[in-house]
């Protein structure tokens, strides 16, 4: 029987006994659940957020941010300088992501000591229906960016994606795809891996927040979760206690270390929560005379990878990605106030924008406060600030080359850039924390894998060095910043770890 149980409907304490308890149902958790259930293990998945019904997704940003994201989309670093978007609900961050499906670059695998990830990547691509984006699907925004890139003589690429035909395709994708179902619209985890995990016998509790991982004699033996938190109702006092022989932690790169620290699990190398990379991103817009209508069609299909040379330097560089949003989100990202802001917004249909997405060397740390809530510390290094500034200048050059008449910068005040001779303003002003919008969609690295317990938290097959039977399968695993959209890599690593776990069963 296919089972999703809504924790918010349960009015008593419960207990379950299974082989494996998976915490989180996003890119890493969904894949692990399917692979383990199909291998014949009994699996329970605990997901803190709702089991979404895509047909109920609206285009009302405040409502959807509340429904789909942690902290209503307002999660930030401790100093408030970087906004971190993380999905909450069945499918995790894959429900609102933009479906770029990029294979792990070889130099990154070499750096991480992974010999070959091709079989896992092939399997994941097949299950997610990854395919090359057709030329006809490249929208006007992406064509304008490509025009600018080619005029500069830079390198760019039309990507592959995990998306079927979608009549509703637009910037609304960020607020969840209303068309999403198997083979149609966004092929996120909730319509691909999760149904297959359930068909194979896994049981999923939504609205079920894991509060504690239980460990006895150095082994993971279960999980305690709070039932009943959903986006509309207050929490109930009921609990779910799971007894199991293995725990798979896949709550994302902020919540996974949070749960580890909150549960007071061993951390002999003092590595838990460290090595946080964020791929910080700033936007640069261009106002064009022509209508761009960037809100129509697939927001991101092309990107400029000219400044990411991983063979030469696997730890640094940046991508220039097309970016756009609904009027509410664009308004929130625009500089200026009052009349000046309104004047900018009147150009909504004439704006093409880029994100400078940094492959960050800087690293931060997740700790917990006395209430057990995550506190996210992160500071951009001087070198990374310089690279972001270079990225902003190059984004502006590209937009001018594509025909922009004015550049919009992400500072609080409007600083109009009308020609390349104004670029010194960007260099002088630089990256000013809390005076510009810096966003992160790719937190990673906080329970890093590696062979040595002094420098890593889990081994190269995801098992904790210090706790037998505790595995990690989400973005926390990454030993360093990956530099590209991470979903395929997370999913492929989860596939690798889960299959190995199943082969070695019983532990």
Ligand X SMILES: Cc1cc2nc3c(=O)[nH]c(=O)nc-3n(C[C@H](O)[C@H](O)[C@H](O)COP(=O)(O)OP(=O)(O)OC[C@H]3O[C@@H](n4cnc5c(N)ncnc54)[C@H](O)[C@@H]3O)c2cc1C
Query: Which residues here bind ligand X, judged by CB under 6 A?
Result: 23-29, 46-49, 85-89, 92-94, 96-100, 174, 209-210, 250-253, 255, 259, 441-442, 474-475, 485-487, 490
Q: Which is nearer to ligand X, 185 or 486 (CB)?
A: 486
Q: Which is nearer to ligand X, 41 or 355 (CB)?
A: 355
Around Cβ 455, how many Cβ atoms within 10 Å? Answer: 13
Q: Which is nearer to ligand X, 86 or 363 (CB)?
A: 86
Q: What minimum distance in Å lies between the beta carbon of 94 and ligand X? A: 5
Q: How far apart (Å, rounded) are the C-alpha atoms in residues 28 and 269?
A: 24
Q: What minimum distance in Å lies between the beta carbon of 276 and ligand X? A: 13
Phi-psi region of 308 (alpha: psi -120 to 50; beta: other; left: phi over 0): beta
The burial class, CB within 10 Å (0-12 / 13-18 / 19+), for 382 is exposed
Dig out the tokens for 191 from the structure. Answer: 């319509």
Q: What minimum distance in Å lies between the beta carbon of 419 and ligand X? A: 32
CB-based contact 476:250 (threshold 8 Å): no
Q: What minimum distance in Å lies between the beta carbon of 425 and ligand X? A: 29
Dig out the tokens for 496 from the structure. Answer: 């690798």
Q: How far apart (Å, rounded) are the C-alpha atoms in residues 211 and 263?
A: 8
Q: What minimum distance in Å lies between the beta carbon of 270 and ligand X? A: 22
CB-based contact 24:63 (threshold 8 Å): no
CB-based contact 198:204 (threshold 8 Å): yes
Q: Which is nearer to ligand X, 349 or 373 (CB)?
A: 373
Q: What minimum distance in Å lies between the beta carbon of 66 and ligand X? A: 14
CB-based contact 430:353 (threshold 8 Å): no
Q: What minimum distance in Å lies between the beta carbon of 251 and ligand X? A: 3
Residue in 34, 52, 63, 122 with CA at minimum distance from that of residue 93 = 52
CA distances from 199 to 18, 63, 71, 194, 453 (A): 16, 31, 32, 9, 37
Q: Which is nearer to ligand X, 207 or 347 (CB)?
A: 207
Q: What minimum distance in Å lies between the beta carbon of 427 and ligand X? A: 29
CB-based contact 244:468 (threshold 8 Å): no
Q: Which is nearer to ligand X, 97 or 333 (CB)?
A: 97
Q: How far apart (Å, rounded) are the C-alpha atoms in residues 107 and 316?
A: 12
Q: Which is nearer to ligand X, 24 or 280 (CB)?
A: 24
Q: What minimum distance in Å lies between the beta carbon of 339 and ligand X? A: 30
Q: Which is nearer to ligand X, 22 or 396 (CB)?
A: 22
Torsion of CA 127, 128, 133, 137, to 10 degrees: 130
Residue in 35, 65, 99, 26 with CA at minimum distance from that of residue 254 = 26
Q: How far apart (Å, rounded) are the C-alpha atoms in residues 225 and 365?
A: 25
Q: Which is nearer to ligand X, 262 or 350 (CB)?
A: 262
Q: Which is nearer to ligand X, 228 or 486 (CB)?
A: 486
DSSP 240: E
Q: What minimum distance in Å lies between the beta carbon of 31 and ligand X? A: 8
CA distances from 279 to 165, 316, 362, 480, 482 (A): 29, 11, 9, 11, 9
Q: What minimum distance in Å lies between the beta carbon of 375 and ligand X? A: 15
Q: Which is nearer to ligand X, 57 or 98 (CB)?
A: 98
Q: How far apart (Å, rounded) are the C-alpha atoms in residues 440 and 85?
A: 6
Q: What minimum distance in Å lies between the beta carbon of 209 and ligand X? A: 5
Residue with the shortest CB distance to ligand X: 26
Dig out the tokens for 42 from the structure. Answer: 């009994």
Q: How far apart (Å, rounded) are the C-alpha atoms in residues 275 and 15?
A: 35
Q: What minimum distance in Å lies between the beta carbon of 147 and ligand X? A: 22
Residue in 252, 251, 190 with CA at minimum distance from that of residue 486 = 252
CB-based contact 5:200 (threshold 8 Å): no
Q: Which is nearer to ligand X, 283 or 423 (CB)?
A: 283
> Would you give the end-to-end CA distance of the chain in angstroms?
27
| Size of the chain in residues | 507
Q: Which residues neighbour 431 within 8 Å (Cβ) at sequence distance 6 or greater?
A: 282, 380, 385, 388, 389, 438
Q: Which is nearer to ligand X, 483 or 486 (CB)?
A: 486
């Amino acid at each position: 029987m296919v089972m999703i149980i809504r924790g918010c409907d349960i009015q008593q304490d419960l207990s379950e006994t299974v082989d494996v308890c998976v915490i989180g149902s996003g890119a890493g958790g969904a894949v692990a659940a399917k692979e383990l259930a199909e291998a014949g293990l009994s699996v329970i998945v605990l997901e803190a957020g709702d089991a979404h019904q895509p047909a109920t997704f609206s285009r009302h940003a405040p409502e959807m941010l509340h429904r789909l994201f942690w902290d209503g989309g307002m999660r930030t670093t401790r100093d408030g300088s970087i906004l971190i978007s993380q999905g909450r609900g069945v499918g995790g961050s894959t429900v609102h992501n933009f479906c770029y499906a990029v294979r792990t670059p070889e130099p990154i695998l070499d750096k991480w000591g992974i010999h070959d990830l091709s079989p896992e990547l092939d399997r994941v691509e097949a299950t997610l229906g990854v395919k090359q984006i057709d030329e006809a699907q490249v929208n006007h925004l992406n064509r304008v960016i490509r025009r600018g890139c080619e005029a500069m003589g830079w390198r760019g690429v039309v990507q592959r994606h995990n998306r079927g035909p979608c009549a509703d395709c637009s910037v609304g994708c960020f607020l969840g795809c209303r068309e999403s179902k198997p083979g149609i619209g966004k092929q996120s985890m909730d319509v691909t891996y999760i149904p297959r995990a359930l068909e194979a016998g896994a049981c999923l509790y939504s609205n079920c927040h894991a509060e504690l991982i239980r460990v006895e004699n150095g082994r993971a033996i279960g999980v305690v979760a709070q039932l009943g938190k959903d986006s509309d109702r207050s929490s109930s006092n009921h609990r779910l206690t799971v007894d199991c022989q293995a725990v798979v932690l896949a709550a994302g790169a902020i919540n996974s270390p949070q749960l580890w620290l909150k549960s007071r699990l061993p951390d002999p190398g003092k590595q838990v929560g460290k090595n946080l990379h964020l791929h910080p991103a700033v936007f640069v817009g261009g106002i064009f005379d022509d209508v761009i209508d960037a809100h129509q069609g697939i927001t991101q299909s092309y990107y400029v990878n000219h400044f990411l040379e991983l063979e030469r330097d696997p730890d640094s560089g940046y991508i220039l990605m097309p970016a756009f949003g609904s009027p509410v989100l664009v308004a929130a990202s625009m500089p200026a106030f009052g009349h000046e802001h309104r004047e900018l917004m009147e150009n909504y249909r004439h704006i093409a924008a880029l994100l400078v997405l940094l492959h960050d060397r800087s690293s931060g740390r997740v700790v917990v406060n006395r209430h057990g809530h995550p506190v996210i510390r992160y500071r951009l290094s001087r070198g990374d600030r310089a690279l972001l500034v270079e990225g902003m200048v190059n984004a502006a050059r590209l937009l001018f080359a594509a025909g922009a008449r004015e550049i919009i910068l992400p500072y609080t005040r409007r600083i109009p850039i009308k020609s390349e001779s104004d670029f010194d303003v960007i260099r002088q002003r630089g990256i000013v924390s809390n005076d510009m919008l810096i966003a992160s969609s790719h937190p990673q690295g906080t329970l890093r894998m590696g062979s040595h317990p002094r420098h890593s938290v889990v081994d190269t097959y995801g098992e904790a060095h210090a706790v037998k039977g505790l595995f990690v399968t989400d973005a926390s695993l990454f030993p360093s910043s990956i530099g590209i959209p991470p979903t395929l890599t997370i999913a492929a690593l989860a596939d690798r770890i889960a299959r190995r776990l199943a082969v070695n069963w019983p532990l």
